[in-house]
Structures are given as C-alpha cells and as structure tokens.
Structure 1
C-alpha cells in the first residue's frame, strides 16, 4: 500500500511535505489525481503599445499632431457653447448701431413734421379771378408779390426798418417765376408799369392791388390780360417776412455796385459784396433813390436778395442745424401767404425753384420796356411772353433778358 502524505501530527521521517504545491520544489505525489503546480511566467515591466494600421489612401496626406487643449481645460473635452448675454466686445457695435438707426429715424420724422406743422399755420388767399382766363400752359408760373403792408410791425420796428406809417396795402414787388423744361426764369414787373387795369383804364400796375384792397384777384387778371400768361400759383410776402427769412438763414450776401446811402430806406452800405442781415437786406431791396435806374434798379436788387435767400435755403446747414431748420420753417406762417388750393408739395416745389434762378441754373430779367415811363416794349415784351407761354425759356436770347428790361444791356 502506497505511503500517504503525513499530516499534522505525523512523525517527521524526512519525507518532503507539500512544498511542491506552492512552487517550493519537491516531487509531487505519484497519485495522478493530485494537484500539480502551475509554472509562473515573468510579467512585463512596461505596457506594450499596439502598432497602428494606416487607413487606405491616408499615406499621401501629412499627419498633423493633435491640437493641444487650452490651458486649464481637461484634454478631450470641447468648450461648452456660450450662454446668456454676449461679451462686451461683440455687443457694443450692435448697441451703437441700434441707437444710430433710432436717431436717423427721429431726424427724418423731424424733417417732415416741422414743415407740415408750419404749413398748417400759413395763411391762404383766394387769387384766381373770375371770367375768362388763358388756357392751361406747359410748365408752372408763380406770381410773387411783395406787399408793403405794415400790419404786424410795432412802431419801434417800423422806425428801425424805415417803413414809415403808410396805411393801406400796395405792392412794391411783382415777379413772375416760371419753371418747366428749360431754365427757371425770374422776371420782374416794375410797379409803375403803365398797363390796362380792368375796370380802371390805363394806369400803374400796382394800383390793381390797391383797388382790390390788397386782394390779388384783380392783379392776377391784369397780368393775364396784358401778357397772355396763365398764373398757376400765388405767393405773397410782407416787409417783416423778408427780415425773418433772411435772419433765419443766417444772413445773405449782397453786392451793390456803388456806395448806397438812402435815409428813406435806412440803408448805408459800401460798394462790393458783403453779408447783410434781415434789416439791411430789406433796405437794399426797397431802396430806389440812389440807384441811377430808380425803380428798375430796385427790381434788380429784389431779385438779387431773392436769389441769395434761395441759395442759403438749400445749404446743408439749413437741414443739419435743428435750430436754423425750425426758424426757417416757422418764418413762413408770419411771412408768407399762399394761394388757396396750393398744396404743401407745390409750395415745396416753389421753394426749390427759388434756389435755381441765378447763375447757370436760371435767368433773371426785367420785363422788356421801351422807356423809363414805364411802357412795355410792344415787340420785345411780346417775344418774352411767347417764350414763357410755350415753356421755351432755354431759347430766350440774352439781348431780351436784361437787368432793367431796357434794350442794349447784358448781365444782371
């Protein structure tokens, strides 16, 4: 019988114990069912890296090292999308753009609202005469009248402006402004022109205004009957209006051709171009006693002031300066009267036309006359009127468009 392994308490006879079971050596028991020791394998001292297998077609492209994560951010994590309010740098441009759009919108509203508000206060007058009138004609012809009414002027203002205390209402200024396919034409009609006034015979043309007690209907009919030109719109301005408008645009430039001292008009200016305020511009437009052409020269001064005002009105500063823009528009209700039926658009067209009556943009003339009496030249005046009726101002010869209306003059 085979020897059995000795257990605890068995005598020590030199036979090996169970060291073989733990790899301590010794021979295993001969029994086949006994447990055998498993040999130990040495462990690798470092982690092996599996070789990479290139993908097809990737060998042609240079490999790029992976981007290093920003400092403080764990590798392998993408930044979270920004939430809430944007940063100050990206928010600031949009903030100012929003405010800029609001300011532009408010400015446009201001530019539209102020003229409409002023227009609601402008006085309207009935100017169209009854009876037969010339048929409609191409272009547009405005009758512009400067009234010498002192209404609204205080005694101190009358003294300062040299207007005197005359009662009633007459007109010192009569102009026709024609606009159409050709250059704008501003033509003065001398107040002493001898014409036929319906119902009153042959007399001075400004008497038509006085006979009708300042109502323009008879004056319109007188002009239409004697010229054949149809009057489409009517504009009237008083003494105080000239002062207010000139001051509203910051003054105008006048260019007297001689020293002018006229005590009756409160005028004292030197020869040459100079800036004039409202009071000086009015005195310059009214003076006729120191000009060699008398009332004809005064008409030329009036056209000069009107053209200078028009030039200032379209200055960018008139629109960019809110104070000047307000004063200019609010001068209209106290200074102007428009024909009834005149729309704000037609009034704006008249104002724009007044800015293009000098230089290469327009013509300024006196109605053709034959003498200082003042009789209209029957042949030359008819030629001028025909050009206007046909809206053919581009073909008016310089010999026909003269400063005083007398033949043989050039320039204004």
Structure 2
C-alpha cells in the first residue's frame, strides 16, 4: 500500500511561505535587534557619549577669560615683579659694595655737637692721580701734583619744612687750620686730606658734619657724558684756554670736557665769585637731570650712570648708599629754586704767610648764616650775598 503523507497545510519547502510559530525554519528577529522595545523586560542602559569641550570664545566676544588663563597671567606678572626686584637689589648691592670710602669724619676734642638737620661737606678734588696723560690733556687739567680742592660746598638739609641750603666755601677763604695755623681753606686738604679739611670746616663754621662726599675730575666728566650732557645758559661768552673751553653766549648743552672747564674757569669779571656760582648752578642741573625720568627710564643713560658712579664718588667710611638720595634731591633743588644757594659772606681780604691773596669772612653775617643752619631756621636775607652774574 502506498501511504502518502496527509497534508497538514504546512509546507517545508523554501518556496512555501510560513507563519511564525508554526515550525518556520527562519529565525525571528528580536525586538532589541530590530531597534524596537515593546515592553519585554527592562530596557538596556543608554550609551553615554564622551563630553565635548567647547571651543574658546572668539576674540572680542566679551566672554570672561577662563580661570586657567588668569592664573597663568598672574604667574607671568609675579615673575616680572620678582625679576625687577632682584635687578634693583643687585644694582643696589653693587653700588654699596663698590663705593670708594675714606676716613673723613672723626671725633676730636672740641668737635661741635650734632644739632638739627643734616650737614654734608661736598668736595671737588683736582687730583690727577687716576688720570692718564691722555686724559689730563683731553680734560685740560694741567699736570699739577698733589691733591687740592677746586670746589667746597656745605649742604644743610633741615628736619622741618625749611628749604635746604647750599653754601659755597671759597677755596681762598683765610681760616684757622687745626695744628697748621692760618691759611687758605683749600690748603687744609693739601696738608691733611679729607680728615683735616672736614675738621677745618667744622671748627670755622661751628657746624657738625654728618656726611662727606668727594668727586674727582674724571668722574665728574664721565657723569656728565653718561646723562647725555647738561644744558646751561650763558649770558656772556667764556674763552679760557687754561680750562680748555671757548663757549658762546646763549643756551647750549655741555659735554663732560666742556662742563669741567665751565666749573673751573676764572676767566670772568668776578673770578672766584662767579666760579662758585657756576659750580652750584651746574651741579644742581646735573643732579636734577640724573634723577629725572628721562634718565632713570632710559637704559642707555641709566646703566652708564650706574657703572660710572662708584669710580666718580668717594664718601666717608660711615656713609652708605641710602644716604645719597636725600643729597641728590637737595642738590637738584638748586636749579629749580627749591634749595637756597649762597656763598659765605666776604668782609675783606688778607695776605697769607706766603704772600698769597686770601679772602676773609664777614664775621657778623657768616655767624647769622651758620646759626640759622645749626637751628634749622631760614637763612636771613642779609646773609645771602650772591649778586647776579
């Protein structure tokens, strides 16, 4: 018998469609595989995408800078400030350690007691010891031997609001030199150096000197050149071959060589009296320019000035760099009228033991001058004796 299978309505052939769940050989796609979830159990966790950093805001958008950039800017500023402070400290230390010092001020029996204010003795030395033959010829200093003083000034800086006073001490002043008798004031320096000169000034003025500063020929010229020259206005021309200058009338900028000749020349109608006025005017203008913003903010002037200063100045062994700013500002005031300038009043003339001509201080007027300085009082008008050039 031929037993044929009974038709069940189901087909196993590939060309016969079938319905799911009724023996179909095709695998049914799951809802997850189809990307659809229809509530069968719990859904899978969502995929976390990595956080994307936002680009920095464009320039000019007004958005505040990020904290990291602010911190970086702060570090840069801190480094700049620290570098600047280190530079200042190194420069200060260099100058402090390299200043020339000499024993100029010392105690002795009968020395005037310290009083109000601060007193400086300012000396311009004509020593050629540190100048070569070529430099002596260039600066027209001559070949004189030994040490003398071309300039002597007394600066009083008060402790109150009274103006500072800059007093010229004529080199030919006839004074008592301790242990040497009577002679010209500049002879004290030649006979006993800075120490005897300082003692002579204290003895004859009754003022206690607190500080001493000296500048030589070469250092003076170098300082002038370092600041780019100093402008002076001459009412009359000056022609002095001995000082190496031939200057026309009018305003002009003097270099180091010309400046040195200008403060040394006696080729004027009043000779030494004009000379000390030139010295005060010029040293005031030089100091004023050296402390100006145009010099301090210009490295091409500031650094030559700094490196020339130790060779230019000699101070007392008890003086320090921090003593100099008040000196500089007081001297600089001479060119602007903030500092009173005068010469010790002259009362007559005399002859030295060697037959040289000397000048004698006016006792009454000079006493008023020095008493005013000792007590921090304004100098009486009758003790200010400089006449116009």
Matched, 1:389 2:358: no
Counterparts of 1:119 and 1:305 in 2: how far apart (Å)? Answer: 26
2:331 corresponds to: 354
2:174 pairs with one of 191, 194, 199:
194
1:279 pairs with one of 240, 252, 257:
257
C-alpha contact 1:115 1:329 (8 A) present in aligned 2:
no
C-alpha contact 2:365 2:382 (8 A) present in aligned 1:
no
Counterparts of 1:355 and 1:88 in 2: how far apart (Å)? Answer: 53
1:299 pairs with one of 252, 270, 276:
276
1:313 pairs with one of 290, 293, 297:
290
1:152 corresponds to: 130
2:363 pairs with one of 378, 396, 401:
378
Matched, 1:266 2:244: yes
The Cα offsets for residues 200-235 of structure 1, whole Å up to 9 and x where unpaired, read as 2111010000111xx211111111111101111000
C-alpha contact 1:184 1:362 (8 A) present in aligned 2:
yes
Question: What stretches of structure 1 of length at least 5 have no aligned partner?
Answer: 1-76, 404-408
SS across alignment from 1:275: strand
Structure-1-length-normalised TM-score: 0.73
Matched, 1:364 2:341: yes
Structure-2-length-normalised TM-score: 0.77
Larger Rg: 1
- When residues 96 and 277 of structure 1 are mapped into structure 2, their CA distance, relative to the original with a 3 A threshold, is farther
1:226 pairs with one of 204, 214, 221:
204
C-alpha contact 1:252 1:312 (8 A) present in aligned 2:
yes
Count of residues paired in the alignment: 324
Q: CA RMSD in A?
A: 2.5
The Cα offsets for residues 83-104 of structure 1, whole Å up to 9 and x where unpaired, read as 8x96685369745565344334
Trace 1:180-259 onto structure 2 (pairs within 5 A): 180=158, 181=160, 182-212=162-192, 215-259=193-237
- When residues 268 and 312 of structure 1 are mapped into structure 2, their CA distance, relative to the original with a 3 A threshold, is same
Counterparts of 1:378 and 1:296 in 2: how far apart (Å)? Answer: 18
The Cα offsets for residues 299-343 of structure 1, whole Å up to 9 and x where unpaired, read as 111111110111102211222122322211221211110001112
Matched, 1:401 2:384: yes
Counterparts of 1:137 and 1:88 in 2: how far apart (Å)? Answer: 69
Counterparts of 2:174 and 2:187 in 1: how far apart (Å)? Answer: 10
The Cα offsets for residues 244-269 of structure 1, whole Å up to 9 and x where unpaired, read as 11111111111222100000000111
C-alpha contact 1:208 1:218 (8 A) present in aligned 2:
yes
Matched, 1:102 2:79: yes
